[in-house]
């Protein structure tokens, strides 16, 4: 703790402790930094959400209503980038900063100053992304995936986006190195790797993935930058380059990236479900191995995003089979969560509701993913709203619902106060209803052939788009309730009891004792 409360020799500097804003700017405390990550990601969630509202407002009816096509494209581009790099990833890093040192018994993160720096890079990058709206040409070119040749033509906005992605990548790599070092070197005596909480395991594996693929993204956008300004032809066919090469390199980053956004979710859900089932997690070691398998396999499936880009049939077959193989370890996880709940002494507080909702909806997203993995079907639904429905089921009802579950689960630990349980349940049920209203109908739109990233559409798509837009506005409004619940909890929530959740709680457990064996006709014992 010397790093936090004094100099290297432990001499306290209590009279020099900065207060007010300087405390937050200069802090090296993992809890403060975790808190800043979480507030930052919440702010960016609303920025990205506002862009999504704009997109859905335009699509409420056919014809051009509010947004010109150019501006509509900028909304879709920045909605994607801000939600992925500004909302989901920093939120998980915030959870990691708060929880990992406490879960493994470490005094703080390994590199406290670097931890501070990796956070303060984020507001800079976010500002660049937002500013790219207001420069000539905007940020539209190539979508959030930066595809050339569009992105080699765009204006200054594309350069700002490239620079922002570089900074975000640097932040992610520093955060990951910090997490890996902390977990491997700073565990309390007796905390072996196979005794770590699942959340710590999922983050360890995620951090390795980030260190692996973030430099790939940095290299890709650097090649794009040199194509744009220094006369190279990496992706320019006229100069002997290949635009499809960009897709290969980008998706070699982009596919592990979607698992980077879901593995910590698995970790959170693996903490919440045992608590509210009052049973240890079923199949702990198989969960660890499944997480590692998902991470390894995720590096071999990138070209399933590119089935329509003209690859040989042998390539299509390889990526099809590899993609379907990933469903196996993912299925292991789902069955383990189900087995954890089986015959447990269950209760349904808000964190558990979000976790069960996560499993249900994530499985739907997983099924549509397996459908997209089948080459002939993918060729039909590629670039339609079916794909949008698929990845929002994975990233909204996946990552976001898990984040909500974790937030409600650990809020009493972070703030010392209880949130309003009734409002929390309202937040869950409204989110669940409006989420499905928004995205389930998009499967039908996609199967009927409605292309994505298009501001206008044929009359046949009008009804489902209206339903989807109404759902989106409802979902957006519901998230304001979440902010109210959090602020209300911090300001005036009841004091949290020592044991927040009845039974096992993260306040005092790493692993539960194994229950005494019982016969199927007896009621299972409740672990206290």
CA 454, 50, 369 angle in degrees (round to 5)? 55
Tell me whether residue 229 is one of the annotated catalytic residues.
Answer: no
Tell me whether residue 528 is one of the annotated catalytic residues.
Answer: no
State how far the Cα of 170 lies from the Cα of 70, in Å rounded to an integer.
Answer: 30
Strand partners, 6: 12
State how far the Cα of 514 lies from the Cα of 511, in Å rounded to an integer.
Answer: 9
Q: Which of 228, 278, 304, 443 is catalytic?
A: 304
Q: Which of 37, 147, 251, 259 is catalytic?
A: 259
Tell me whether residue 259 is one of the annotated catalytic residues.
Answer: yes
Q: Which of 118, 151, 330, 506 is catalytic?
A: 330
Q: Which of 413, 452, 453, 511 is catalytic?
A: 452
Tell me whether residue 79 is one of the annotated catalytic residues.
Answer: yes
Q: Which of 333, 390, 427, 443 is catalytic?
A: 333
Tell me whether residue 32 is one of the annotated catalytic residues.
Answer: no
Tell me whether residue 30 is one of the annotated catalytic residues.
Answer: no
State how far the Cα of 426 lies from the Cα of 430, in Å rounded to an integer.
Answer: 6
Tell me the backbone φ, ψ of residue 288, rounded to 5 degrees: -60, -50
Tell me whether residue 270 is one of the annotated catalytic residues.
Answer: yes
Q: Which of 35, 41, 58, 79 is catalytic?
A: 79
Tell me whether residue 368 is one of the annotated catalytic residues.
Answer: no
Q: Which of 27, 30, 76, 144 is catalytic?
A: 144
State how far the Cα of 477 lies from the Cα of 510, in Å rounded to an integer.
Answer: 37
State how far the Cα of 504 lies from the Cα of 274, in Å rounded to an integer.
Answer: 8
Q: Which of 151, 270, 340, 469 is catalytic?
A: 270
Neighbour tally for 65: CB within 10 Å? 12
State how far the Cα of 406 lies from the Cα of 36, in Å rounded to an integer.
Answer: 16
CA 487 to chain CA mean position, Å: 23
Tell me whether residue 233 is one of the annotated catalytic residues.
Answer: no
Closest CA to 166 of 251, 242, 224: 224
SS3 label, residue 307: coil
State how far the Cα of 116 lies from the Cα of 171, in Å rounded to an integer.
Answer: 10
Q: Which of 30, 228, 255, 392 is catalytic?
A: 255
Q: Which of 257, 271, 349, 378 is catalytic?
A: 257
Tell me whether residue 333 is one of the annotated catalytic residues.
Answer: yes
Across 262-370, where does the E strand assignment appear?
Answer: none
CB within 8 Å of 452: residues ≥ 6 apart? 383, 384, 385, 387, 388
Q: Which of 27, 132, 171, 176 is catalytic?
A: 171
| CB under 8 A, 24+ apart: contacts of 233-236 | 235/148, 235/149, 235/152, 236/148, 236/149, 236/152
| Residues annotated as part of the active site | 79, 108, 144, 171-172, 255, 257, 259, 270, 304-305, 330, 333, 452
């Amino acid at each position: 703790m010397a790093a936090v409360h004094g100099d290297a020799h432990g001499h306290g500097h209590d009279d020099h402790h900065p207060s007010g804003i300087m405390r937050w700017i200069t802090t090296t405390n993992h809890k403060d930094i975790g808190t800043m990550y979480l507030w930052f990601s919440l702010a960016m969630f609303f920025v990205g959400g506002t862009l999504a509202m704009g997109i859905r407002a335009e699509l409420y009816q056919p014809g051009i209503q509010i947004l010109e096509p150019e501006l509509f494209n900028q909304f879709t581009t920045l909605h994607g980038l801000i939600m992925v790099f500004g909302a989901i990833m920093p939120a998980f890093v915030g959870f990691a900063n708060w929880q990992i040192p406490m879960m493994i018994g470490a005094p703080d993160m390994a590199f406290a100053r670097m931890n501070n720096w990796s956070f303060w890079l984020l507001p800079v990058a976010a500002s660049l992304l937002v500013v790219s709206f207001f420069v000539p040409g905007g940020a539209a070119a190539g979508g959030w995936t930066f595809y050339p040749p569009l992105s080699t033509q765009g204006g200054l906005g594309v350069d700002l986006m490239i620079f922002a992605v570089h900074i975000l990548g640097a932040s992610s790599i520093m955060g990951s190195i910090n997490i890996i070092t902390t977990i491997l070197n700073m565990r309390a005596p007796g905390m072996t790797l196979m005794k770590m909480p699942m959340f710590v395991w999922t983050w360890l594996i995620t951090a390795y993935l980030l260190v692996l693929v973030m430099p790939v993204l940095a290299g890709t956008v650097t090649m794009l930058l040199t194509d744009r300004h220094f006369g190279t032809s990496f992706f320019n066919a006229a100069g002997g380059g290949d635009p499809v090469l960009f897709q290969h390199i980008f998706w070699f980053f982009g596919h592990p990236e979607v698992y980077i956004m879901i593995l910590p979710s698995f970790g959170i859900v693996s903490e919440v479900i045992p608590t509210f089932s009052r049973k240890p997690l079923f199949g702990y070691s198989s969960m660890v191995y499944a997480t590692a398998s998902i991470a390894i396999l995720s590096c071999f499936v990138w070209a399933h995003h590119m089935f329509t880009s003209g690859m040989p049939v042998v390539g299509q077959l390889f990526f099809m089979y590899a993609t379907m193989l990933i469903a196996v370890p993912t299925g292991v996880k789902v069955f383990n969560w189900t087995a954890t709940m089986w015959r447990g002494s269950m209760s349904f507080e808000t964190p558990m509701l979000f976790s069960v909702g996560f499993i249900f909806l994530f499985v739907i997203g997983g099924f549509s993913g397996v459908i997209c993995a089948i080459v002939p079907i993918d060729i039909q639904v590629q670039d339609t709203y079916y794909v949008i429905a698929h990845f929002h089921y994975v990233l909204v009802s996946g990552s976001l619902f898990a984040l909500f579950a974790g937030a409600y689960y650990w809020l009493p630990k972070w703030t010392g106060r209880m949130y309003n349980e009734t409002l929390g349940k309202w937040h869950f049920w409204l989110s669940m209803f409006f989420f499905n209203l928004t995205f389930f109908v998009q499967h039908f739109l996609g199967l009927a052939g409605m292309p994505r990233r298009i501001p206008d559409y044929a009359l046949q798509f009008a009804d489902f788009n209206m339903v989807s837009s109404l759902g989106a506005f409802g979902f957006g409004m519901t998230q304001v309730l979440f902010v109210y619940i959090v602020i209300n909890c911090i300001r005036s929530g009841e004091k949290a009891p020592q044991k927040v959740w009845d039974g096992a709680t993260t306040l005092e457990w790493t692993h539960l004792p194994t229950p005494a064996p019982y016969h199927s006709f007896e009621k299972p014992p409740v672990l206290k």
